[in-house]
Structure 1
Amino acid sequence: MQVKPKQHFEILDGLRGIAAVAIVIFHFMEIVHPPSENFIAHGFLAVDFFFCLSGFVIAYAYHDRIDKMKLTDFFRLRLIRLHPLVIFGSVLGVLAFLFDPFGGHPETYETGRLILIFLASVFLVPFPVMADRYFNLFGLNAPGWSLFWEYVANMLYALFLYKLSRRSLFLLTVFAATGLCFVSHRAGGSLLGGWSGETFWDGFARISYSFLAGMLIYRSNWIIKSNLGFIALSILLLLVFFVPFSDFNWLTEPIIVLLYFPFLITLGAGATLNPRLKKLCIFLGNISYPLYMTHYAVMWIFANYYTKYKPENGQLTFIIISGTLFLVGIAYLTMVFYDSPIRKYLTDKTKKA
């Protein structure tokens, strides 16, 4: 099936939003319970879904015009799309660190060192120096690790990946799949790494396969037309995140990332959208990136609150549900009053130039 010229994949947008909400809930829950005891144990795999979807969308958006563009124009467009929220998330992160009512101990950091940590976060330079934050690559805004690799993938796409034949792309994807399986085996059967200094290269393995797989789906027109709708596909996606940790992680996680996520994208790209759900899909797609890049400041505050007060299960349930809804609201406000206006301003300025 040939993709219609520049059609919009609203169902894929909606699935991206579902994945973003799932990872917020996962981050709440991992503060309370380790993944092995977590009801949304594999919520972290939402990042791999993002990577695969990104490869598909980038190939779809640029494959027919990238060779007619200057590299600087491509990078400018990607910066306009991604970087305003990188900056905003870093600002939220430093404010939460300085004014956390439940702890954080900013007084233990020299001003110069904190400024350096902030600048590293703003410019996406990995700087895993905050021991009290488990040596995250970006201590002020932990999700920055995946954006770092997103930028790397975008640069490699513009430099040479788009030029590859389908055969070469397929072989490279198979090679990347082998690397992903090696990383999973070395990590004891889990693909949870990539966010810390110690697991830095795991992030490269995770984006290498998923981004290439997304590209390959588009380049090969692996799109399955079906009557599956947004609700059915959302359930199929959510099922992954609720797969419990087990002794078979070494098998289940690679299968999910290597096969299941690409399959969901082929289904999502060809699925039929109920017109009544179109606005919901657009909303979820629009808030997915703001939600992902703004939620972690609250996670650090929640972690300190939980350590200090040890709330009971009933109270925790209320906090996590209301906290997730609150963060969705913050993401929407961020989109409306910051991200969209900034991107429109920068886009218009670029067009005039």
Structure 2
Amino acid sequence: MNNNNTTLPTKPHYQTLDGLRGIAAIIVLCFHLTEPLAATRLENVINHGYLAVDFFFLLSGYVIGYAYDDRWDKLTVGAFLRRRFERLQPLVVLGMTLGAIGFYYTDSPIWPLIHTVPLWKLLVVMLIGWTLLPVPLSMDIRGWFEMHPLNSVGWSLFFEYIANILYALGLRKLSNRALAVFVALAGAVLLHFAVTNPNGDVTGGWTLNAEHMRVGITRTIFPYFAGLLLSRVARPVRISNAFLWCSFLVAAVLLMPRIGGTDRLWLNGLYEAFCIIIVFPAIVYLGAGGVARSPAEAKICKFLGDLSYPLYMTHYVLVYFYVAWVSRHKGITLSEAFPAALLTFSGAIVLAYISLKFYDEPTSAWLRKKLK
């Protein structure tokens, strides 16, 4: 088998799923803008915005199954991983680079380490970040105990790569029945974690230690491979107004206020497990059957889908500046911070679009030619 496998034709996109990915990415941005204004994790206005990551994992598994499951007679593991590299890595590099450029300008009371970091160390962390390998805590140059201190969201891409590798190296070979058993066990692990976690939620996965590695794997394995299973066994049915209804469901799940309070933290964990295990697969199933009702809706879905990954991978570069500003204005309210939040939101959308058109698309096209 030769390297021409990388020229496999692209299958048609699920328009509605593309649009939903964009909706979720925008809500993630809004979540990160409201997060520093909340006194505790229970008070964020967009309380469950972080569940968008779990939704992304499920979407990824579904799309990977749809795009590749029937092509392994013409595809090698190396060719598959090259295609994922071409798709994911350019924006990983850009996000880490932009994070490094802005690093020293985000010095603030919550990040006292920044002004003490020598340039050589910043450059080393950036170069490691380009590979998406996690940096140890000894290389934590920001003070948030993150494996990617120049672009916080890099942790989820790290686990996405792990899921892709597991799929390519063997789990793709599981029969539907064996995959169903695997997914059921992963779902049970996720449910147990969600309801027993002392935080009362599924957050975590961004620190290079045993606790967060467990969280990251738990959050990735079920949704990714549930999405794969769904792509195999569920034939989409045509749903009227699918994009509208599915967008509403995604927003409702992610905007839901905290459940249970401090007295019954397990209730919130149960809600989040229910969303990941039941609601998200249902949304993807309904979305997969959706067809744009008009050329305008098709363009909206395509725009949102194209923008989603650049937005996710570059928005935190600007959020760092916003968080630093909020930290210098302790006690600031949401209404008082709204102009700065709106400016950051608008800037993130513009940055994502510029990144898409002037960097991601041409770089990915260049890589496809070079890695044939």
Instruction: Please report the TM-score for the alignment, with normalisation by the length of structure 2.
Output: 0.89
In structure 2, how many angstroms separate the alpha carbons of the residues matched to 1:320 and 1:99? 18
Residue in 1 aligned with 2:352? 331
In structure 2, how many angstroms separate the alpha carbons of the residues matched to 1:121 and 1:245? 33
In structure 2, how many angstroms separate the alpha carbons of the residues matched to 1:218 and 1:257? 16
In structure 2, how many angstroms separate the alpha carbons of the residues matched to 1:31 and 1:138? 19
CA contact (8 A) 1:66 1:158 kept: no
Residue in 2 aligned with 1:23? 28
The runs of 5 or more residues in structure 2 that have no matched partner are 1-9, 261-266
In structure 1, how many angstroms separate the alpha carbons of the residues matched to 2:289 and 2:143? 42
Tell me the CA shift for residue 286 of structure 1: 0.3
| Worse-matched range after superposition: 101-110 or 174-183 | 101-110
| Worse-matched range after superposition: 33-42 or 304-313 | 304-313
Residue in 2 aligned with 1:173? 183
| Worse-matched range after superposition: 67-76 or 11-20 | 67-76
Report matched runs for 1:96-135 at 5 Å: 96-100=102-106, 104=111, 106-129=114-137, 130=140, 132-135=142-145
Aligned AA (1:255): F
Residue in 1 aligned with 2:202? 191
Aligned AA (2:283): L
Choose from 38, 46, 51 the match for 2:44. Answer: 38
Residue in 2 aligned with 1:6? 11
In structure 2, how many angstroms separate the alpha carbons of the residues matched to 1:205 and 1:319? 35
| Worse-matched range after superposition: 64-73 or 276-285 | 64-73
Tell me the CA shift for residue 350 of structure 1: 3.1
Residue in 2 aligned with 1:207? 220
CA contact (8 A) 1:59 1:218 kept: yes
* Cα 1:57/1:286, change in 2 over 3 Å: same
CA contact (8 A) 2:61 2:226 kept: yes
Q: Report whether the alignment pairs 1:245 with 2:258.
A: yes
Tell me the CA shift for residue 132 of structure 1: 4.3
Residue in 2 aligned with 1:49? 55
* Residue deviations 1:124-156 (CA, integer Å, cap 9, x gap): 111242274320121111111000011011111
* Residue deviations 1:303-331 (CA, integer Å, cap 9, x gap): 11111134443331222223212211110
Tell me the CA shift for residue 237 of structure 1: 0.8
Q: Secondary structure at the match of 2:371?
A: helix
Choose from 332, 344, 348 the match for 2:365. Answer: 344
Choose from 337, 345, 357 the match for 1:316. Answer: 337
Q: Report whether the alignment pairs 1:76 with 2:82.
A: yes
Tell me the CA shift for residue 102 of structure 1: 5.4
Residue in 2 aligned with 1:298? 318
The runs of 5 or more residues in structure 1 that have no matched partner are none
Instruction: Please report the TM-score for the alignment, with normalisation by the length of structure 1.
Output: 0.93
In structure 1, how many angstroms separate the alpha carbons of the residues matched to 2:73 and 2:197? 39
In structure 2, how many angstroms separate the alpha carbons of the residues matched to 1:335 and 1:45? 24
CA contact (8 A) 2:197 2:269 kept: no
In structure 2, how many angstroms separate the alpha carbons of the residues matched to 1:69 and 1:307? 50
Aligned AA (2:205): G
Report matched runs for 1:261-280 at 5 Å: 261-275=280-294, 276-280=296-300
Q: Secondary structure at the match of 2:328?
A: helix
CA contact (8 A) 1:229 1:274 kept: no
CA contact (8 A) 2:195 2:270 kept: no
* Cα 1:102/1:132, change in 2 over 3 Å: closer
Percent same amino acid among aligned pairs? 37
In structure 2, how many angstroms separate the alpha carbons of the residues matched to 1:231 and 1:322? 27
CA contact (8 A) 2:107 2:114 kept: no
* Cα 1:250/1:339, change in 2 over 3 Å: same
Q: Secondary structure at the match of 1:199?
A: helix
Tell me the CA shift for residue 120 of structure 1: 2.3
In structure 2, how many angstroms separate the alpha carbons of the residues matched to 1:313 and 1:152? 37
In structure 2, how many angstroms separate the alpha carbons of the residues matched to 1:186 and 1:132? 30
Aligned AA (1:313): L
Tell me the CA shift for residue 201 of structure 1: 1.7
Aligned AA (1:63): D
Choose from 215, 225, 233 the match for 2:246. Answer: 233
Tell me the CA shift for residue 222 of structure 1: 4.3
* Cα 1:158/1:235, change in 2 over 3 Å: same
In structure 2, how many angstroms separate the alpha carbons of the residues matched to 1:54 and 1:14? 14
* Cα 1:329/1:131, change in 2 over 3 Å: closer
| Worse-matched range after superposition: 230-239 or 284-293 | 230-239
Aligned AA (1:148): F
Report matched runs for 1:283-294 at 5 Å: 283-294=303-314
* Cα 1:96/1:119, change in 2 over 3 Å: same
